[in-house]
Structure 1
Amino acid sequence: MEESKVRARRLGTLGIWAALLVVVCVGVSYFVTGLLVRNDQSWEHDEEQGHHWLHQELALTPSEVVAVDAFEPDYHRDRAKLLENFNAQIAKLRGLLVEKDDFSPEVNAAIHELHVVHGSLQELSIRHYYEMMSVLPPEKKEKLRKLAVEALSEPE
């Protein structure tokens, strides 16, 4: 009887940790991928905290705007696909947390699948940052670098 209580407590604790992991993964992903754009699927220059804000912060010239914006369509298309996959993985893990009473191989696999997609989102955002860096003059590269470091330094 006592052993079953200990096991139930351990499973409950494990479930809490797994749920917390999901929350942390979601938060980190949205923070990192939202570094330069908002998290919705559409993109417009006038989005709150979108590229319009970045253009102002960097005081981009018209030719720099054209150079930076050349990367946007591919980035937003790839990001939308990854976010769709990420949300599907979250839904899958959420379902497993509801239906499974213990840390099963399916739960473990779902967590690892979520990490893979999360890593892909992070990589895409960082690659996009470097694409923008590649077309900016030195003083604006430094400003973008400072903005990125500030954004990554603020807890969300």
Structure 2
Amino acid sequence: MAEEKKKAVSGGGNKLMLIVIALLVILIAAVGGLGTYMFLHQPAGAEAQAAPEKKRPDGPPVFEKMEPFVVNLAGGDALLQVELQAQLYDAEAKQPLVQYMPKIRSGLILLLSSKSAEELSTADGKVRLKAQVKKIMNEAIGQPGPEPVETVLFTSFIIQQQ
């Protein structure tokens, strides 16, 4: 009889131990999940609090005219002469644009000279080119916050076959 009591007590202890271990595993998983959630979502909130979004200025848009570009197009059978203006986020964006102009012009010359006359003859080709020009300008400036160049406008676009 004494042996049966020992088995009953030790068997109950094993069940209790398994329940405690299971609860500990669930508790650790819950704490780990909560910690991961807080860690991954914390920086977005901190950035939003640290740097309030810059308000768009009222008034007319700000434009910066660039010197004309004349490049040989890919294939060597055509020339492209293009004049463009950058519409800027605000007047403060003009200074960095002017400061980075050599880097911007170099990037744009490489881009323009890589295009073919056929590619640029369509409206779709010109729209894609505008997006690529804008990207090069904003990457060259590399300013945090809103992109300094909002859009690019072609004021002259001439493809001359040779």
Give the TM-score normalised by the residue count of structure 1: 0.33
Rg: which structure is higher? 2
Higher strand proportion: 2
TM-score by length of 2: 0.32
Give the structure with the higher percent helix. 1
Greater RCO (Cα-Cα under 8 Å, separation 6 or more):
1
